[in-house]
Amino acid sequence: MLQLNINDEISTLKAVVLGTAESPGPIPTPDEAYDPKSLEHILAGTYPNESDMTREMDAFAKVFAKYGVKVYRPEVLTNCNQIFSRDIAFVIGNKLITANILPDREKEVEAILHVLDKIDDKNILHPPEEVHVEGGDVMPWNDYIFIGTYTASDYSEYITARTNRAAVDFITEQFPAKTIKSFELRKSNTQAMQNALHLDCCFQPLGRGKAILHKNGFLVESEYLWLVDFFGKENVFEITEEEMYRMFSNVFSISPDVVVSERSFTRLNDWLRDQGFTVEEIPYSEIAKQEGLLRCSTLPLVRE
């Protein structure tokens, strides 16, 4: 059986589900786009192809192999985009919470049943229907759980609003020993530069007390300032609007000292090395066209 254990974003990774780019199906029509960045590339004729995305995910898998991480992959569903395993479930402590995701994506959960079968049923939580939540919005951080949300009355009008008030309440009930800190995120169905799809699109805690932040991803300035204060201004790498758009904050920590990053993120990668991190650079710019990157592609199961 798998003994789930995830209490932060950085402890040494032992087991993870890495999505797959095999058989993602035809290029979506504009009406089928889940987010403004994908739409942009569909309309421009630059939407990524299967071979490029598979090559990028293989590079990620090689880094995990290098560090001795046990990697599970979803069963390949024909004509189904299964890259972003963070969307379908997430782990807090020893509990795996299945996400109530966009209805078209429910079969993605079935593709990881071979992993769920290794987990004690009592440690799998299925939130009620009114709870909308995706793993990109949920970050365990020691005594805290950080949650990105959107709670305005026009929530239902945004396909980019993925985690609601009911999700914050549900997680608060399930983890009474944790302090829940939620953040209102900026949403746009049409402007990718103005859309923080998930919390990890504008914020990422790192080892060594560091963090990546993008101020404009947050709707409420005081919530952004709380994070700056929490980590300390001198420890925060503030990314620009264009860097948020390119997904600079969506890197992934294999351990407190090792960060996997996109190879073109020169400014960030130089800063990380200056802070003493080992940076494993891989190509991931094609997958980034779907408004997701390294953290989005992973579902961590066990950290030390």
> Which pLDDT tens digit goes with each residue over 149-191?
998 888 778 777 789 999 999 999 999 999 999 999 998 767 7
Instruction: State residue 196's pLDDT score.
Output: 79
- DSSP secondary structure code for residue 278 in this structure: E
* pTM for the model: 0.94
Is the CB of residue 40 less than 8 Å from the CB of residue 94? Answer: no
Give the C-alpha separation, 218 to 215, whole Å.
6
> What are residue 151's phi and psi, to 5 degrees?
-120, 10
Residues (pLDDT < 50) of the chain are none
Joined tokens for residue 91: 């782990």
Instruction: State residue 138's pLDDT score.
Output: 97
Instruction: State residue 116's pLDDT score.
Output: 96
**Length, in residues, of the chain:** 304
- pLDDT tens figures, 197-209: 899 999 999 999 9
- Stated as kind and residue range, the H or E segment containing 48 is none
CATH numbers and ranges of domains, the chain: 13-303 (3.75.10.10)
